[in-house]
Amino acid sequence: MKNTVFIIDGYGQIFRHYYAFMSNPLKDKNGRNVSAVYGFFSTFFSIINKYKPEYFCVAMDTGGKTFRHELFPDYKANRIKTPEDLISQIPLITDILKEMNVSVYSQTSMEADDVIATVCLNAKKEGIKPVIVTSDKDLMQLVDSEVSVLRPPTSNSKSYVFCGPNEVKDIYGVMPDQIVDYLTILGDVSDNVPGIRGLGEVSAVKLLSEFGTLDSVYDNMDRHSKAVANKLLASKDRIELSRELIKLKNDLFELKISDFMNMKTDKISYYKSVEKFKQIGSKRLVELVCEMSSEDEIERIEKKEKKSETIIQDNVLTGFDIKERLKSLDDKQIRSYFDCGIAQWMLNSDYGDYSEDVVFSLYGVDAEDEENKMGILRKELIDRLKESSLYELFTGMEMPLLRVLSDMEKNGILINADELNTYSLELNEKCKEIEKSVWDLCGKEFNLNSPKQLQEVLFIDRNLPTGKKTKSGFSTDSDVLQELFIKTEDIVPKLILDYRMYNKLLNTYVNVLPSLVSEKTGRIHTTFLQTGTGTGRLSSKNPNLQNIPVRTEEGRRIRSAFIPSSGCKLLSADYSQIELAVLADMTSDEALKKAFIDGSDVHKETAALIFNVIPELVTSQMRSIAKTINFGVIYGMSSFRLSQDLGISNKAAKDFIDTYFDKYRKVKNFIEEVKEQAFNNGYVRTKLGHIRYINDIRSANANLRQAAERSAVNTVIQGTASEIMKLSMISIYN
């Protein structure tokens, strides 16, 4: 796009990507959140690659008080404090931008929106057309015949959309030059801008459509209904303040043509970001840099990459993250391989960091020759694996699984984005309906996402009993809301829970999944983690496809959006109650084994034993209690936790557990044996031999020791179940 400057709303992009990954944040090798860094630069490269603007810059906030706080000390007073792990990513993002020679503009005591307004005005003076990349409605006031906005994907669309004056009118019902008055009427709860109480979007559009401006609305008071006139008069003294808070300043600084020449995209040195992207462990961003860079820049990157290349030695490909290499090479090129990171994970699955530098330093390997360095490390790891009786498990299960996961990641899965977009509209509508119901019940409008405002409504306005206390006041977390609803039968806590559930589905899956579809393949490509858990259970990220709810109608609706390729079908295969089956096998408890051998309902059989009735007389409530106990045993559930889950007394819960162990005596013996083994050895083993060291098993602190005991029992059962699943995946793949 020649003669066009793209202006990125920096903070808007950073916040958007941080919260998009909130339920499953991306982390670097030191465990630091880097979701915003990854999301920001993925978008950065995508926009430049797709639209090819001639000029490019980023506008940022400087933080702290602005001139708007001087006008109105309570400006943004309702804002929730920005999370520390988001704030910590901002300097890294600005450093990378500056290293790449990208122009970044900010000004003390001003907001990024004012910076953007100033850049737009200066660009127009130089005959350059500005495009603002943002989802912020405040910036729509800048749109005119020369200035447009590029809006990120929303629930209605999976692609970016250009907004000129007509599109602004379609979205908001008013023209861009009416946006300031429109927002003045509405106010802003998150920014604490007063607005006109009692007038919403429909009223604002109607008034401005009829009278043109807010001043004209007040000049014609005799033409309004009594109700509207009263609302207008009641807020008249706040109008000028609200308008001043919303209107953007565009005279912060002056830019000359030489400044715009420095913004030219052909001056961006993409390759300078490689080291930073490698430090946060993002190979995808490094790949994007290579796609954007010139041939001589790629040569520089490749020289830096040489030292961490996978080494082929003795016909065994040896290195770290072999799974990525397998995706890019044909099967015939790599027949045998050794992943050093996975080998180290098997030796200590709770260590947490299995990266190249860390593993080399653990074994003191520091040979100058790269090939010898990797070979030495492989020999050292093989010796350790054999000493721990893990080598056969490593070569017979974990390495074959690596190829399976590589192909799964490479293949990806199709989704029906239209179905998710439709569902997004429905969920948004449900959220609005709940919000209105809550407002009606509480007699006032407030931000349902604000803990501070919710505390006021629940514990002051509605005088509900308070629960546990946090630094910011009495807790409003899900457990507290659920307990309030049960104890008081007040419907508001239940509505808040529903609102949060729909919001979580929207922000974790429904709105996010379509944006993660690869432009190249049209599929979603998750990353499966072999070393993500201490028990050996597989996990996935970017996106997490294993946590989509399955037992709720909403979760099943999301899952229905995953579709097979043309001419194919999706097959769902699972082991029934696999962890309980493992428990039955490892304990050799006849009563528990019989339920599986006979193919009967194990929870029903357990209920019959606990309640001392024949299976035919087991009620759904009895079965539910038995099911909770069956799975609770695996995770070392206490009587207190069981009482909380079932809503019964602690004594009743203890009686249930005691009766359970009385009926399944070998289960009790097995649990005690595992605890004893963990205490004596410092670790436990799964049925196939995977080791997990159990920290704190000998701790003098009872809470830490009991948590360690629960971890030991869970590892043996869940770890064995994970191994069965892995072997099945390999068999099916073969």
CA distance 341 to 357: 10
Phi, psi of 567, rounded to the nearest 5 degrees: 85, 0
pLDDT at 328 over 80: no
Task: Supply the pLDDT for residue 182.
Answer: 94
450 residue type, one letter:
S
Longest CA–CA span in the chain (Å) reads 92
Strand 148-151 with 161-163, pairing: antiparallel
Tens-place pLDDT, residues 126-140:
999 999 999 899 999
Distances (CA, A) of 562 to 353, 509, 539: 33, 12, 18
CA distance 480 to 65: 35
Angle between helices 639-646 and 620-634 (to 10 degrees): 150
**Which token pair is 414?**
């199709």
What residues contact 26, with CB distance under 8 A and at least 6 apart? 33, 34, 35, 38, 282, 541, 542
**Which token pair is 657?**
């557990």
Task: Supply the pLDDT for residue 334.
Answer: 67
Task: Supply the pLDDT for residue 301.
Answer: 59
Taking all residues of the chain, what is their mean pLDDT, rounded to a whole number? 86
Q: What is the DSSP letter of 249?
A: P
Residue reference for tokens 């023209």: 175
Task: Supply the pLDDT for residue 40.
Answer: 92
Tens-place pLDDT, residues 455-511:
888 888 888 888 777 666 788 888 788 878 877 888 888 999 999 989 888 888 898
pLDDT at 371 over 70: no
**% the chain with pLDDT above 90:** 35
List residues bridging with 33 in a β-sheet: 27
Q: What's the mean pLDDT in 49-55?
A: 92
**Which token pair is 73?**
């000390």
CA distance 319 to 283: 15
Strand 148-151 with 129-133, pairing: parallel
Task: Supply the pLDDT for residue 439.
Answer: 93
In contact, 454 and 473? CB cutoff 8 Å = no
In this prediction the pTM is: 0.57
pLDDT at 32 over 90: no
Q: What's the mean pLDDT in 309-332?
A: 70
Q: What's the mean pLDDT in 345-369?
A: 71
What residues contact 363, with CB distance under 8 A and at least 6 apart? 377, 380, 381
pLDDT at 299 over 70: no
- Per the rule left: phi > 0, alpha: psi between -120 and 50, beta: everything else, 522 is left
Least confident of 168-172, 285-289, 324-328: 324-328
Task: Supply the pLDDT for residue 308.
Answer: 46
Q: What's the mean pLDDT in 630-654?
A: 79
Least confident of 318-327, 426-435, 564-573, 636-645: 636-645
Tens-place pLDDT, residues 219-260:
999 998 898 999 999 888 888 888 999 999 999 999 999 899
244 residue type, one letter:
E
Q: How confident is the model at residue 685 (pLDDT cuts 50, 70, 90)?
A: very high
CA distance 228 to 199: 8
pLDDT at 303 over 70: no
Strand 691-693 with 683-685, pairing: antiparallel
**Which token pair is 731?**
């068999």
**% the chain with pLDDT above 70:** 92
Q: What is the DSSP letter of 264?
A: B
First vs last C-alpha separation in the chain:
50
Distances (CA, A) of 481 to 180, 432, 505, 549, 700: 38, 20, 19, 21, 35
pLDDT at 331 over 60: no
Task: Supply the pLDDT for residue 434.
Answer: 92
Task: Supply the pLDDT for residue 412.
Answer: 92
Q: What's the mean pLDDT in 323-339?
A: 74
Tens-place pLDDT, residues 534-586:
888 898 888 888 888 888 888 899 999 999 998 999 988 888 788 888 999 99
Question: What count of residues does the chain have?
Answer: 734
Torsion of CA 105, 107, 112, 115, to 10 degrees: -70
pLDDT at 654 over 80: yes
CA distance 574 to 603: 18
Q: How confident is the model at residue 307 (pLDDT cuts 50, 70, 90)?
A: very low
Q: What's the mean pLDDT in 431-457?
A: 88
pLDDT at 305 over 70: no
pLDDT at 353 over 70: no
What residues contact 497, with CB distance under 8 A and at least 6 apart? 478, 481, 482, 485
Q: What's the mean pLDDT in 367-388?
A: 78
What residues contact 338, with CB distance under 8 A and at least 6 apart? 316, 317, 318, 319, 322, 378, 381, 399
CA distance 55 to 535: 51
